Structure 1
Amino acid sequence: MANSPPDAGGLNALPVSEKTPYSAKEADHDSNSVDVSKEKDFDTSVEADNADDEEEVTYLKGEPVVDSGRDVSRFVVDIRDDGDNALTFRSMVLGTVLAGLGAALCQIYLFKPVQMSVSTVFLLLVIYTFGNAWATFLPRKSWVEGTRFHGLGPVFHFINPGDFTLKEHVVSSLMASTAAGGSTAVLNFAVQRLYYNTHVEALTAVLATFSTGCFGYGLVGILRPLTVYPSEMVYWGNLPTVAVFQTLHFDSGANVKRVKLFWAAFTGMFVYEVIPAYIFPLLNGFNIFCLASQHASKKTIDVFTNLFGGADSNEGLGLFALSFDWQYIGSGSMSLPLIQQ
């Protein structure tokens, strides 16, 4: 009895709705009407969100005030992509050469009283100049097309693929600016040699420095979902560099004048640096209080030196001191607006 089939009559006795079922056409019509209404609701919500975003934007003198990651993506960073190659022979050579120069300069000044580093804006402008010169003067594939040297076309294209693009510029600048900051791993070997009389072999030091760099980059790659991907993770100190990149490559009409201004300022700084470095070293650190205390007692001189001195390492706090030497002033704030400096 337990395994007997259910009574068919009992099933037939159940009440059945007399409503006629939908036809396929009616069902499609109803489903489409539902989807359209949902789509309209979605479009309305999107338009409302966009309207809210427009209302949230604050304008000052006709320009939007950027105070969030969404504002950065809307008003500062251009999402244009021309589809150019980023890793080329030209970008690798320029980035490697300037990375070596920047790293060597940083390591030389690392153990000096004056800490000096190469500015990212300076590097990207130098790379932009050399990259355009490379694209202009080195032979291209088009130069040998239709001639008996057409077989050299792929070689020329590998060396000089054409105009110097934004992606090549960014890759070269990343390589150069990253290396220009030096590596703190070398401090370990310096401490061992200076204080513990331990001499580390050159190969060991090079491999250890390389391994620490690889570990750091790997750790940064793992943390990208936390430090890069969120829209609010904006590194505001890099925005001037991004603006310079976009201006140089998206507004090429006025670039000649800007580059000339850069090289004129660079030449003037280079010539002027001879004065505080060799002719008039007093310009390195100028303080009226230290000058006024030259004939005071030794105790007074020591107090004034501890408070107002600072041109040399471990000398003083450097209160109210002025410097007319570019090595002390640096160029870290030269790319920022004057009101922000």
Structure 2
Amino acid sequence: MEQPYDDSGVPLSYQPEKLEPYNHNLENSDEVNDSPIEEVRLTVSIKDDPTLPCLTFRTWFLGITACAALSFLNQFFSFRQNSLSLTSVSAQIAVLPLGKFMAAVLPKKAVRIPGTKWSFSLNPGPFNLKEHVLITIFANAGSNGVYAINIVTIVMAFYHRHIHPLAAMLLTLTTQMLGYGWAGIFRKFLVDSPYMWWPANLVQVSLFRALHEEEVRPKRALTRLQFFLVVLVSSFAYYVVPNYLFPSITALSFVCWIWTDSVTAQIIGSGRSGLGIGSFALDWATVAAFNGSPLAYPGFAIINIIVGFFLTVYVLIRIAYWTNAFEAKRFPIISPHIFDSNGQEYNVGLVLNETNFEFNRQGYDDYNKVHMSIFFAFIYGLSFATLAATVSHVALFHGRIIWQQTKATFRDKFDDVHTRLMKKNYDAVPQWWFYSLSLIMIGLAMVACEGFGGQLQLPFWGVMLAIGIVLFFMLPIGVITATTNQQPGLNVISELIIGYLYPGRPLANVVFKTYGYVSLVQAITFLSDFKLGHYMKIPPKSMFIVQLVGTVVASSVYFGTAWWLLTSMDHLCHPSKLPVGSQWTCPGYNVFYNASIIWGVVGPLRMFGRLGLYVKMNYFFLIGLLAPVPVWILSRMFPEKKWVRLINMPIIISGAGNMLQATVVNYICWITIGVFFNIYVYRRYQSWWARHNYILSSGLDAGVAFMAILCYFTLQIRDINGMRWWGLELDDHCPLASCPTAPGIQVKDCPIFH
């Protein structure tokens, strides 16, 4: 029978179920009808079929394939100027027709494993929703990146040193898997609690429902799959322009073209090296690079990011630069590099002992202190503030709920409809699974750090200290992520702590940071996937097994891809030596390298302590701690004003946090698209948004990815680049935007001010 549609072409079955009012009293009620979060009620089904097969041959084959493919593509793209990050949503859509095809052609006869009584079916029936979810969780493991690759890259491409491949592989694996134990400790708070709703998961939940509901093509409209294919083909065809024929289209800064001889005008107008006023791009990779697709962010989070971005870039940085704070005019206004007092790039070789790879204090005293661009300095200050604001925001806005949840957890009282269904139909993952895995990973981490001649420089106590920091911050950061889709990181505070305790060792610093930062990130990722499975009613043990295998596969493929590129490509990460228009500039790794110098070689005592130039940045800890207080007071004074509670100071403070890797033009494009689709279109054309928004995002991502891979393996790997012309340069043609404006500072290709 033909499915009925509303006036906008949305299937009526896609509308949310009729629900009874939710009883908010978790402690006094054993029965509640649905989630207390409106977005969850509108998106997540309250039905379950526990008879559906989950860990089938199709799940393993398509899941591992998707995981490996996304791992390769994301690592491949991470070395490029616009390091597009492909999410699991792309795989989520792509595997559906493959799963249905396998269900149609594979034999249904049981296959017996030789020498055992075990058997399985290649085709246990129609391709079902739960298989699809587990394949997507596999893909999630491949889409989230492997932070330890930063260490391998800076050692080989920037410090030009050798690292033992087994040490690098153990570092990669242990940092990715150490967080599973922390997830086991906190899953009661961050998964079972109905208030921890993980908004990013609703993208996939709504897409699952759309893809698995039977759909007939509406009159004068396209089905969702047809729409996805149209977007995919269009994005694929168009991306040959910014990727190969006209790379300059990734940042168009017309102000620089008008005032070609004015340093000030180019600082104001450059989208890559300046404030980007009037700058824009015609490239989806520019939009989605670094910050991800804006179509996947809640509208309130986009608004908070906008406020933070504009206050940081167009108020704080402009005032600080033109008042010459920290001698700002001696250096570029925005730069991830470090400098000496004369505006020249810092010569690290003079302060690093090549024999033992440790800080050379005498060389430092004879040379120069480390200076940063004003933006680089304030980004560190804002990072301090973000961490402090996260703690105080969670304490003020969620402290009472967390306390109630703590009491409810010990009495096992979380009982919304989704939790009831999971407890009724499936066995929970035993806690000893998590703890055993963590103990194994801690042991392997000790081997990686203490073995191989101490190449990684970090002693065993550093690993244990990193674990302690993660356990302290896990709950507040988990709450922020589970409610806002923003995830404050521990990277800066980790660098600060180990920099004071164990200074002068760059690899020890970045390894400690990775164990602290990434084990928390992986725990959050694990919990997010568990919440997705919670919403989709997947057996918890199946989710655990899939995540475990997916993490091993992803770690191996990320490491293998990076090692291949680092050992086979000449001049990777060195833009001055690459061909004109080459994308292989490694902006993210450049930031990581300079951070290793600031925190590891020179150390925080000589940067942000009493011996440094930036000691005032420590006031940002206090600013961040106090920032949520006025918002909390307003929310108490005006409880009827719901928009007040949507003001999120940790997000606002960190609004421009990715700009050392990204640029202003990336942010401007991201904001423009995000506001248009997730605020304007969402409010004016909600039916269209519900039907097409996430599919549009997936199609654009996938098209860009496929064209970039095609161009590289057919042309660019053979050094066949586009025709030489003005638009071939991967630049916005603002050569003066990186020039100093202080009198007497002489930098190559820049005018001297008097």
TM-score of the two chains, using structure 1 as the length reference: 0.68
Which of 98, 111, 116 pairs up with 1:154?
Answer: 111
In structure 2, the partner of 1:281 is 247
**CA distance in structure 2 between the partners assigned to 1:109 and 1:303 by the alignment:** 33
Distance 1:103 1:310, change over 3 A: farther
SS in 2 for 1:208: helix
Deviation at 1:96, TM superposition (A): 1.3
* 1:16-38 deviation line (CA, Å, top 9, x unaligned): xxxxxxxxxxxxxxxxxxxxxxx
Asked whether 1:79 is paired with 2:50, we answer no
Q: 2:268 aligned with 1:307, yes or no? A: yes
Please report how far the alpha carbon of residue 72 of structure 1 lies from its aligned counterpart in structure 2 after TM superposition.
4.5
303 and 130 in structure 1: CA distance in 2 versus 1, 3 angstrom threshold: farther
Confirm whether residue 99 of structure 1 aligns to residue 56 of structure 2: no
Change (3 A) 1:187 1:52: closer
Structure 2 matches for 1:112-191, cutoff 5 A? 112-136=80-104, 138-141=105-108, 152-154=109-111, 158-191=121-154
Alpha-carbon shift at residue 188 of structure 1 (Å)? 1.8
Question: Aligned pair in 2 of structure 1 residues 187, 339: CA closer, same or farther (>3 Å)?
Answer: closer
Aligned in 2, Cα 1:73/1:105: closer, same or farther, shift over 3 Å?
A: closer
**Judging changes above 3 Å, is the alpha-carbon distance between structure 1 residues 161 and 329 closer, same or farther for their aligned structure 2 residues?**
same
1:228-259 superposed Cα distances (whole Å, 9 cap, x missing partner): 1111001112212111112222x222488211
Counterpart residue number, 1:227: 190
Q: Secondary structure at the match of 1:105?
A: helix
Of 190, 200, 212, 2:163 maps to 200
Q: Distance in 2 between matches of 1:334 and 1:310?
A: 22
Tell me if 1:340 matches 2:670: no
CA displacement, residues 173-218 of structure 1 (integer Å, 9 cap, x when unaligned)? 1111231121111112223334544322222222221111111222
**Which residue matches 2:205?**
242
Structure 1 pair 322–82 and aligned structure 2 pair: CA distance change class (3 A): same
Which is bigger in relative contact order (C-alpha 8 A, separation at least 6)? 2
Distance in structure 2 (CA, Å) of the matches to 1:254 and 1:212? 46
| Cα distance change of structure 1 residues 189 and 276 upon mapping to structure 2, 3 Å threshold | closer
1:308-323 to structure 2, matched below 5 A, reads: 308-311=269-272, 315-323=273-281
Distance 1:304 1:318 in 2: 10
Inter-CA distance 306–164: structure 2 relative to 1 (3 Å threshold): farther
CA distance in 1 between counterparts of 2:166 and 2:41 reads 49
Q: CA deviation at 1:93?
A: 1.6
Q: In 1, are the aligned partners of 2:67 and 2:141 still within 8 Å (CA)?
A: yes
Q: C-alpha distance in 2, partners of 1:260/1:173?
A: 21
User: Per the alignment, do residues 158 and 202 of structure 1 end up closer, same or farther by CA in structure 2, a change over 3 Å counting?
Assistant: farther
Question: Structure 1 stretch 82-91 or stretch 154-163: which is displaced more?
Answer: 154-163
Q: Retained in 2: the 8 A contact 1:102–1:176?
A: yes
1:101 is paired with a residue whose SS is helix
- Residue 307 and residue 132 in structure 1: after superposition, are their counterparts in 2 closer, same or farther (change >3 A)? farther
Using the TM superposition, give the Cα deviation of residue 269 of structure 1 relative to its aligned residue in structure 2, in angstroms. 0.6
CA drift of 1:288 comes to 2.0
State the 1:306 CA deviation.
Answer: 3.0
Identity of aligned residues (%): 27
When residues 261 and 72 of structure 1 are mapped into structure 2, their CA distance, relative to the original with a 3 A threshold, is closer
- Tell me by how many angstroms 1:53 deviates: 5.7
**Separation in 1, partners of 2:137, 2:246:** 37
User: Which residue is 1:212 aligned to?
Assistant: 175
* Alignment match, 1:7: none
Matches within 5 A, 1:48-67: none
* Cα pair 1:308 1:320 within 8 Å, conserved: yes
1:328 corresponds, among 278, 283, 286, to 286
Counterpart CA distance in 1 for 2:122 and 2:23 is: 47
Gaps of 5+ in 2: 1-19, 25-34, 113-118, 298-675, 681-754
Give the CA deviation at 1:339.
4.2
Do the aligned partners of residues 198 and 258 (structure 1) sit closer, same or farther apart at CA in structure 2, a change above 3 Å counting? same
Which amino acid is the alignment partner of residue 139 of structure 1?
Answer: L
* Deviation for aligned residue 1:268: 0.9
Correspondence list, 1:246-285, <5 A: 246-249=209-212, 251-254=213-216, 257-285=223-251
Any idea what the Cα deviations from partners look like across 1:36-63, whole Å, max 9, x if unmatched?
xxxxxxxxxxxxxx66869xxxxxxxxx
Q: What is residue 108 of structure 1 aligned with on the other side?
A: 76
- Give the 3-state SS of the residue equivalent to 1:154 in structure 2: strand
Do 1:140 and 1:157's aligned partners in 2 also have CA atoms closer than 8 Å? no
Distance 1:333 1:97 in 2: 27
Q: Is the 8 A contact 2:63 2:138 kept in 1?
A: yes
For residue 169 of structure 1, report the CA deviation from its aligned partner: 0.7
Tell me the distance in 1 between the aligned counterparts of 2:36 and 2:181: 25
Q: TM-score, normalization: structure 2?
A: 0.32
What pairs up with 1:22-61 in 2 under 5 angstroms? Answer: none
Letter in 2 for 1:226: F
For 1:257 and 1:305, how far apart are their aligned partners in 2?
A: 47
Q: Which residue is 2:57 aligned to?
A: 89
Contact 1:99 1:179 survives alignment (8 Å): yes
Does the 8 Å contact 1:69/1:234 carry over to 2?
no
2:658 corresponds to which residue? none
The answer to whether the 8 A contact 1:309-1:317 is kept is: yes
Shift of 1:80: 1.9
The CA deviation at 1:70 is: 4.2
Query: Match for 1:88: what amino acid?
Result: T
CA distance in 1, matches of 2:21, 2:194: 20
